[in-house]
Amino acid sequence: MNKIIDRYKDSIVQISTPFNFGSGFILNGWDLIITNYHVVKGNKEVVISGRNFKKKAVRVLYVDILQDIAFLEKPKSIEAEFPDLSEGPLNEGERVLAIGHPMSLNYTSTSGIISKVDREYNGIKYIQIDAPLNPGNSGGPLFNANAEVVGLNTMIIKEAENIGFALPFYYISENLDLYYSYQEKNSIRCSSCRRVQLIEELNNGYCSNCGHKFNLEEYDPPAYIPEGIVKKIEGVIAECGFDAVTSRSGPFFWELEQQGSIVKIVYSNKSKFVVFDVSTCLLPDDNIAMFYEFVLQQNYVLKNLTFSLKNNEILLSFLIFDDDFNTDACKELLKELMVKSNHYIRLFQERFLAKPININQQ
């Protein structure tokens, strides 16, 4: 199963929106990205990232709300080996591998077996697997031992450990076939008559075939406009020279990549604090006491920033209460964080032989 990960990880993308995050993947022979509708719900465009291309905003091209499937625009710059879609059959007891981005992490996988091939819920059949899926797995591929995609990772049950659900390959194939003649055009599949039609051809919001009333906020949502603290944070991001849209990594979460490190920005609705931090290094193997002493001394020297330890990572951070958020002051603090973090990254590696952070694993 590890060979499958190495072979196809470049075909799997991370998807971020202001409301959600998840995964998507590209199949051999198809110039689009496949994911779950619930991952991209409420968005005309989403941000994707991967191993061999930079973050990019892409359009949501097609949605089937009933089967929870969506297709996204695929950038021409993505070059990888893409997996084939299985043609079946599915067998209970068959080993499978779920790949995705749980909790916004890069390329994690979970292996298990198919415990039921046709578990039905709300009229839709699912593959039930004993591999525990996390929210970020949604939209990622489910592989069989032959490295074929047999399903689309879709659901978890919070009360049940080690159980996940995936849409079977035949739903993916069905939607691909229906969308074939509409490629690169914004289209939808009616949840009533199941016909595919272009957004622009809707009859005042009704299906032109069966008269079904569409919820256009689901099928053709308005463009996202940030408000409140999110608007302030994204204003600071833009003023520091970063693209606010492609910096989004999920709800109230942004990542700014600069000179081999990543500034992470997180807002907590519960505490009302905005936290900015950079992972500068891993703890060194030797002279840890001397290293700790130096870091504590720097906390005394630094006026606006603070070092802290998270697991074995040394973070440089600052935080602001949302009611105290001042755009100009925060912009200067963010600039200081970026400059100081680069300084300490070099210093820690040169003086203490601290281990560098692999930003591709953050």
CATH architecture of 228-361: 2-Layer Sandwich (3.30)
Distance CA 274, CA 338 (A): 16
pLDDT tens, per residue, the chain with 362 residues: 778 988 998 999 999 999 999 999 999 999 999 999 999 999 999 999 988 888 999 999 999 999 999 999 999 889 899 999 999 899 999 999 999 876 555 678 889 999 999 999 889 999 999 977 877 789 999 999 999 999 999 976 655 567 899 999 999 999 999 999 888 899 999 999 999 999 888 888 899 889 999 988 888 888 899 999 999 999 999 999 999 999 999 999 999 998 889 999 999 999 999 999 999 999 999 999 999 999 999 999 999 999 999 999 999 999 999 999 999 999 999 999 999 999 999 999 999 999 998 766 55
Catalytic residue among 10, 16, 38, 101: 38
Catalytic residue among 10, 11, 49, 68: 68
Contacts of 88 (CB under 8 A, 6+ apart): 150, 169, 170
204 C-beta neighbours (distance < 10 Å), count: 8
* Residue 38 bears catalytic tag: yes
* Residue 212 bears catalytic tag: no
- Residue bearing tokens 């499978």: 96
DSSP 235-287: HHHHHTT--HHHHEEETTEEEEEETTEEEEEEE-TTT-EEEEEEEEEEPPSS-
Strands 149-156 and 273-282: unpaired
Q: What local confidence, expressed as pLDDT, does residue 252 receive?
A: 97
Q: What local confidence, expressed as pLDDT, does residue 102 receive?
A: 65
Residue 344 burial (10 A CB sphere; 0-12, 13-18, 19+): buried
Q: What are phi and psi of 240, to 5 degrees?
A: -90, 5
Contacts of 246 (CB under 8 A, 6+ apart): 47, 54, 55, 56, 57
User: Residue ranges per domain, the chain?
Assistant: 228-361
* Residue 84 bears catalytic tag: no
Distance CA 57, CA 45 (A): 6
Which of 262, 217, 288, 241 has the alpha carbon at shortest distance from 358?
A: 262
Q: Looking at beta carbons, which pairs linking 115-118 to residues 24 or more positions away fall under 8 Å?
A: 115/163, 116/92, 117/90, 117/91, 117/92, 117/168, 118/168
Q: 11: part of which helix (H) or strand (E)?
A: none
Q: What local confidence, expressed as pLDDT, does residue 159 receive?
A: 58
Q: What local confidence, expressed as pLDDT, does residue 156 receive?
A: 67
* Model confidence, pTM: 0.91
Distance CA 100, CA 160 (A): 20
Contacts of 23 (CB under 8 A, 6+ apart): 12, 13, 14, 15, 35, 39, 99, 100, 101, 136, 137, 138, 139, 140, 153
Q: What local confidence, expressed as pLDDT, does residue 134 receive?
A: 77
Distance CA 240, CA 158 (A): 40
